[in-house]
Structure 1
Amino acid sequence: MAKATKKQALGRGLSALLKETSSDITSANDKNADKVVGNIIEIELDTIEVNPYQPRSYFNEEALRELASSIKELGVIQPITVRKLDGNKFQLVSGERRFRASKLIGNKTIPAYIRIANDQEMLEMALVENIQRKDLDPIEVALSYQRLIDEIDLTQEEMSQRVGKKRSTITNYLRLLKLDPIIQTGMRDGFLSMGHGRALINIEDTEDQLSIYEKIIQQKLSVRQTEQLVKALKEGGSTKPKANSKDVEVPKYVSKGIKTFSEYFGHKIDVKISGNDKGKIIIPFHSEEDFNRLKKLLQ
């Protein structure tokens, strides 16, 4: 218990020191910088601005509320990382979900690891940190790699060392950016996997890419079936995928009619055919708000 009290007192002392000397600390060589930079300090949320270099463009609202509930019960277990700006201002390097969730429940402060970094270092830290995340979609990862190349001027070999990934892995991600934007959007929305995307890259003609993309969505093709379709197209043969014993061909009336469903609900609607004119219509949703919107359409 004594240790916990001491830790809290230390935190208050550092926070007070930060307020007193904030405008004077602009580099790691400044007076008292060693007591602030590199330490975890409780800072006010209102003094933090979001990271303009954040590669993520979408934050799942339901997951954010779940995190907020956890923070309300247990507090912020892992501090965010910020860089110090002029005066008593800071900018997020990593931890935007924790930052947003803390604001969501009305918290005034958050534990933060203080760093000093220039814009280039800031961008590199943010991109590398985000690439390590497991919940990024393949296109977000690819865009992060591309920004490291364009804005930090890293070669693929240098990037491989920085992010701890094989160069071939980085190359495979970057190739996804050559796909038609519609297909890239489909990957971001989870309608097809990176494996599907890698198969489609081998098709140069955009119309052929989109044609097979539609087949993947409508017929729920596996990566293996997609590869077979691409191979058949390149060899000038049939573009009809080989069906597995469990696969059932989608009737024409369904493949035509499903477009009407998709337009009505504002989503790509999936169908699962079980045979004998039987099947299921699957309506996806991406947040609580989206679910409520779909519910109103059905009422």
Structure 2
Amino acid sequence: MAKATKKQALGRGLSALLNDPENDIKSVSDKNADKVIGNVVELDINSIEVNPFQPRSNFNDETLEELASSIRELGIIQPITVRKLDFNKFQLVSGERRFRASKLVGLETIPAYIRIANDQESLEMALVENIQRQDLDPIEIALSYQRLIDEIQITQEKLSDRVGKKRSTITNYLRLLKLDPIIQTGMRDGFISMGHGRALINIDKKKEQIAIYEKVVSNGLSVRATEQLVKARKEPQSNGSDKKKSTSDVPEFVSNSLDSIKERLATKVDITTSKNGKGKIVIPFHSEEDFKRIKKLLTGE
């Protein structure tokens, strides 16, 4: 506790340097800049504005309340990071959840690392730092990658080095932005996973994407089942000759229903018939989970 008190006292001492209008620190070469820039300073919370470059747009009220409760009991364990804009005016670079929770608690000051950065540097710091977080949803990460590419004019190759991710990983995230906005929202809200989204990308038409998405959500389909559903939907488009051959061997009342059965079960279905009109339906499954899913669709159990 003594160490924490000493550190806070030091932060308050440094804050006095920032409250001297005659020696306002505007660059790293200014007097006393080395004592403030890169150090933790206790700042007036009302002197800090939120970061317009913040990639996160969803802040869960419940988790904010939990963080506020922790701050109320233990204080700020990890300082936020800000950049200096003007005299006694700062902007968040990272730590918006801690900043918001501190305001909920009613704190008047907050410990902060001080940085000097222009808009582009601030954008890059905010995006790169937030990409490293574990609690961003896949669309937030994809949007962050896209903003870095567009606004900082960086290639996927260089971005890979900058954020420490494989280029293929970055490409997979960026492809999610090709999904219909309704599906992107579903992913952000947790109705489907990134794996579901990657399967749905293989459907080019947005209306068909949404149709399959609705089946996935309503039936609680796994990623594997979604992949099978997408494959079944694409088969008639990519292999029309096979479809013509198979349907010519079965009665019309069977061939007319084949596609709807495939879509309902989200898997490939094989049908064979004899000349007297009898036949059989073969439904493959790929795992115990897949078998139970098909059983539930067929029996309701």
Name the TM-score class by shorter chain: 0.7 to 0.9
1:1-299 matches, cutoff 5 A: 6-20=6-20, 24-236=24-236, 238-239=262-263, 240-242=265-267, 244-247=290-293, 248-250=295-297, 275=301
Q: Shift of residue 3 of structure 1?
A: 5.3
Q: Secondary structure at the match of 1:85?
A: strand
CA contact (8 A) 1:21 1:32 kept: no
TM-fit CA distance, 1:23:
6.1
CA separation of 1:3/1:137 partners in 2, compared to 1, >3 Å: closer, same or farther?
Answer: closer
Change (3 A) 1:2 1:98: closer
- 1:215 to 1:20, Cα distance in 2 relative to 1, 3 A: same
Q: How many residues align?
A: 254
- Identity, % of aligned pairs? 73
User: Contact 2:18–2:24 (CA<8 Å) still a contact in 1?
Assistant: no
SS at match of 2:113: strand
Counterpart secondary structure, 1:202:
coil
In structure 1, what is the Cα distance between the partners aligned to 2:57 and 2:184?
14
Amino acid corresponding to residue 218 of structure 1 in structure 2: S
Q: What residue number does 1:278 align with?
A: none
Give the match for residue 278 of structure 2. none
**SS of residue paired to 1:82:** strand
- CA drift of 1:22 comes to 7.9
Structure 1 residues 68 and 91: alpha-carbon distance in aligned structure 2, compared to 1, 3 A threshold = same
Q: Is the contact made by 1:84 and 1:116 (CA closer than 8 Å) also made in structure 2?
A: yes
Deviation at 1:8, TM superposition (A): 4.1
Residue 43 of structure 2 aligns to which amino acid in structure 1? I
One-letter amino acid of the structure 2 residue matched with residue 241 of structure 1: A
CA positional deviation for 1:21? 5.2
TM-fit CA distance, 1:5:
5.6
Give the Cα separation in 1 of the matches to 2:15 and 2:151: 34
TM-score by length of 1: 0.80
Distance of aligned partners of 1:62 and 1:4 in 2 relative to their CA distance in 1, 3 Å threshold:
closer
Query: Aligned with 1:246: secondary structure?
Result: helix
Letter in 1 for 2:292: K
> Paired residue for 1:254?
none
Counterpart Cα distance in 1 of 2:45 and 2:176: 37
Letter in 2 for 1:204: D
What is the CA–CA distance in structure 2 between the aligned matches of 1:41 and 1:2, rounded to whole Å? 18
User: How far has the Cα of 1:193 moved from its partner?
Assistant: 0.5
Tell me, in whole angstroms, the C-alpha distance in 2 between the residues paired with 1:86 and 1:148: 25
Deviations 1:15-63 (A, max 9, x none): 1122125862111111111111011010110000000111111100000
Confirm or deny: 8 A CA contact 1:219 1:249 kept in the other structure: no
Q: Which runs of 5+ in 2 are unaligned?
A: 237-258, 268-284
Q: Which amino acid aligns with 2:97?
A: R
Q: Which has the larger radius of gyration?
A: 2
2:266 aligned partner, one-letter code: P
Residue 218 of structure 1: how far off its partner (Å) = 1.2
- Would the aligned equivalents of 2:81 and 2:114 in 1 still touch at CA under 8 Å? yes
In the superposition, the TM-score normalised over structure 2's length comes to 0.80
> Distance in 2 between the 1:246 and 1:14 partners?
64
Deviations 1:135-156 (A, max 9, x none): 1111111011100011111100
Displacement, 1:130? Answer: 1.0
1:143–1:8 CA distance, 2 compared to 1 (3 A): closer
Structure 2 CA distance for aligned equivalents of residues 200 and 146 of structure 1 = 20
RMSD (Å), alpha carbons:
1.9
Note the residue ranges of structure 1 that are not aligned, 5 or more in a row. 252-272, 276-299
Question: 8 Å contact 2:43–2:111 — kept in the other structure?
Answer: yes
CA shift, 1:98, in A, is 0.4
- 1:249: how far off? 4.1
